[in-house]
């Protein structure tokens, strides 16, 4: 096949897309969130529409928490990072539900007639009289579908990314991987639609059978993933090999069937997992993370630097800041101690209460109860503000200490920075950490066992797609028009 023929087939595929009414409808629908991303500005403290109307984030938080009786500090903690969370939620909603769910279904419905229309009596006589093979014409219709979704997904994802950068100054390079994820999943279902179209020569049948396959395929893979998670969690709970119980006959058959299907069938759901794994390489890593306790410190305290020799399980992880007027250094110290070494949390609280002659106040760190003490002490002729939070996480006591010159620490700027630092500390529950450790998503990646291996998923899915297209070509060559 010469270059002129290839160019003609590409132009034909492009015209198939541009002349498609479904493409134009989706184009208009996808342009709406793109235009909104330019019109709506997410600022640090407020949302602005067309730079005219403005709504403060605090108003939303006060309205949402009016019946909960939260104090100002708790509301301030909720406001910290609200812009990033809101932007991320909106992007996930548009990509996952707008494009991945609605876009797939509408796209399949819009282009499922490409092949059946080519095979209609009369049309087929004209088409196949051209000096181009049936295989080339079939594959050109398949490429037309890829062009269809490629243009729309690039417009949606690229447009929103650019819009948020221009209007809100927010850029997520990893978001662009969603274009690959959308095209990857669509390529599989479009191959099935094309091949069904060859066998049935009916666009309605092609649409219905493809749309039935999509949720069934997803459900069977989800069932297999659930079995694997249960199996791994059960293995982790055993204390000795003797505790292993034999599988029932029905369970063994179900497991074998789902495993066989998982190996053979396309794993389109893994596309978003691959995109997330690539996206994580662009994300800012947390300041500190302790996997045993599920504790994450998002960012260092504003204006402080971490002492590299400090240790979380030793004398404490420490962040230091020099006082601007030459007073003593300010510090945050985060420390972990075992209950066996310190006694109970209540014993520590009781001891400190006795030393200070003051009662603690209730505080929350990552929605966990903590006792908070505050006092002022004289040190070398300097008034030092001291604060200490004491909380229990699993079988450990975690303490957080703040030590700074009193006047400097009580300034609004420093109080806001302290509130922001506390709000950036996250502690996952033991149940959540256990579920995450056993989940399929946490194990999925580019290395490791085949059950969770991205290369295995990618290779078998592409092989399935190639075999489906080959089946369609085989049938097409044997049709007598």
Q: Which residues pair with 338 in a beta bridge?
A: 396
Contacts 24+ apart (CB under 8 A), 431-440: 432/294, 433/294, 434/233, 438/229, 438/232, 438/233, 438/236, 439/229, 440/225, 440/228, 440/229
Residue 50 confidence (pLDDT): 82
* Residue 434 is assigned to a structural domain of this protein: no
Residue 4 confidence (pLDDT): 79
d(CA 456, CA 446): 9
Shared domain check, 409 and 306:
yes
Residue 126 confidence (pLDDT): 46
Residue 29 confidence (pLDDT): 85
Shared domain check, 225 and 106:
yes
Residue 67 confidence (pLDDT): 54
Residue 137 confidence (pLDDT): 84
Residue 80 confidence (pLDDT): 56
* Residue 41 is assigned to a structural domain of this protein: yes
Shared domain check, 223 and 117:
yes
Two tokens at 34?
């793109």
Shared domain check, 154 and 33:
yes
d(CA 102, CA 477): 34
Domains in the chain, number: 2
Shared domain check, 275 and 300:
no
CB atoms within 10 A of CB 251: 11
d(CA 406, CA 341): 32
CB contact burial 66-101 (16+ within 10 A = b; e otherwise): eeeebeeebbbbbbbebbeeebeebbeebbeebbbe
Please spell the DSSP secondary structure of 55-122, one letter per residue.
EEHHHHHHHHTTTTT--HHHHHHHHTTHHHHHHHHHHHIIIIIIIIIIIHHHHHHHHTTHHHHHTSTT
Q: Show the low-confidence residues of the chain (pLDDT under 50).
A: 124-126
d(CA 78, CA 419): 10
SS3 310: coil
Shared domain check, 340 and 269:
no
SS3 480: coil
Nearest to 426 by CA among 363, 367, 369, 362: 367
Shared domain check, 389 and 254:
no
Nearest to 197 by CA among 420, 471, 407: 471
Shared domain check, 335 and 250:
no
CB atoms within 10 A of CB 211: 17
Shared domain check, 158 and 16:
yes
- CA 65, distance to chain mean position in Å, is 26
Shared domain check, 458 and 394:
no
User: What phi and psi, each to the nearest 5 degrees, are found at residue 477?
Assistant: -70, -20
Range of the domain at 370: 295-427
Shared domain check, 232 and 140:
yes
* Residue 290 is assigned to a structural domain of this protein: no
* Residue 18 is assigned to a structural domain of this protein: yes
* Residue 285 is assigned to a structural domain of this protein: no
User: What phi and psi, each to the nearest 5 degrees, are found at residue 374?
Assistant: -140, 135
Residue 173 confidence (pLDDT): 74
**Residue 153 CB burial class (10 angstroms; 0-12, 13-18, ≥19):** buried
* Residue 435 is assigned to a structural domain of this protein: no
Shared domain check, 233 and 306:
no
For 22-81, write each residue's pLDDT tens digit. Answer: 888 888 888 998 999 899 888 777 788 887 888 776 666 666 555 555 555 555 555 556
d(CA 7, CA 468): 25
* Residue 137 is assigned to a structural domain of this protein: yes
d(CA 392, CA 338): 10
Q: Using CA of residue 339, residue 340, residue 341, residue 344, what is the dihedral sign?
A: positive
Nearest to 75 by CA among 95, 58, 88, 87: 58
* Residue 289 is assigned to a structural domain of this protein: no
Angle (CA) 463 262 260, round 5°: 100
Residue 283 confidence (pLDDT): 67
Q: What is the CATH number of the domain that holds 361?
A: 3.40.1000.10
């Amino acid at each position: 096949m010469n270059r002129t023929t290839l160019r003609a087939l590409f132009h034909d595929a492009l015209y198939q897309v541009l002349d498609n009414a479904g493409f134009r409808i989706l184009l208009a629908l996808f342009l709406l969130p793109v235009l909104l991303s330019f019109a709506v500005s997410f600022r640090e403290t407020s949302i602005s529409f067309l730079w005219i109307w403005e709504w403060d984030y605090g108003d939303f938080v006060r309205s949402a928490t009016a019946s909960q009786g939260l104090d100002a500090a708790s509301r301030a903690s909720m406001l910290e990072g609200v812009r990033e969370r809101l932007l991320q939620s909106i992007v996930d909603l548009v990509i996952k539900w707008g494009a991945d769910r609605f876009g797939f279904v509408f796209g399949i419905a819009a282009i499922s007639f490409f092949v059946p229309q080519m095979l209609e009596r009369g049309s087929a006589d004209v088409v196949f009289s051209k000096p181009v093979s049936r295989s080339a014409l079939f594959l050109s219709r398949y490429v037309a579908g890829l062009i269809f979704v490629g243009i729309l997904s690039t417009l949606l994802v690229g447009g929103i990314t650019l819009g948020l950068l221009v209007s809100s100054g927010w850029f997520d390079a990893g978001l662009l991987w969603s274009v690959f994820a959308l095209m990857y999943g669509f390529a599989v279902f479009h191959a099935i639609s094309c091949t069904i179209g060859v066998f049935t020569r009916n666009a309605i049948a092609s649409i219905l059978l493809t749309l039935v396959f999509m949720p069934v395929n997803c459900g069977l893979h989800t069932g297999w993933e659930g079995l694997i998670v249960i199996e791994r969690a059960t293995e982790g709970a055993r204390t000795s090999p003797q505790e292993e119980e034999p599988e029932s006959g029905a369970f063994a058959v179900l497991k074998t069937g789902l495993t066989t299907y998982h190996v053979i069938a396309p794993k389109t759901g893994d596309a978003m997992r691959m995109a997330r794994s690539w996206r994580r390489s662009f994300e800012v890593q947390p300041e500190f993370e302790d996997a045993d306790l599920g504790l994450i410190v998002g960012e260092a305290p504003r204006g402080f630097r971490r002492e590299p020799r400090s240790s979380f399980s030793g004398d404490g992880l420490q962040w230091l800041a020099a006082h601007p007027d030459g007073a003593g250094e300010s510090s945050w110290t985060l420390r972990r101690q075992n209950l066996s070494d310190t006694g109970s949390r209540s014993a520590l609280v009781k001891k400190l209460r006795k030393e200070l002659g003051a009662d603690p106040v209730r505080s929350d760190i990552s929605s966990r109860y903590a006792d908070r003490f505050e006092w002022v002490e004289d040190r070398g002729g300097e008034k030092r503000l001291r604060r200490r939070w004491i909380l229990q996480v699993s079988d450990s006591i975690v303490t957080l200490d703040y030590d700074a010159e009193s006047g400097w620490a009580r300034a609004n700027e420093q109080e806001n920075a302290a509130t922001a630092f506390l709000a950036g500390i996250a502690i996952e529950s033991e149940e959540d950490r256990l579920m995450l450790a056993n989940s399929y998503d946490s194990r999925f990646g580019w290395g490791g066992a085949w059950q969770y291996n991205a290369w295995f998923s990618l290779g078998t899915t592409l092989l399935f797609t190639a075999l489906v297209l080959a089946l369609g070509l085989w049938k097409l060559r044997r049709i007598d028009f």
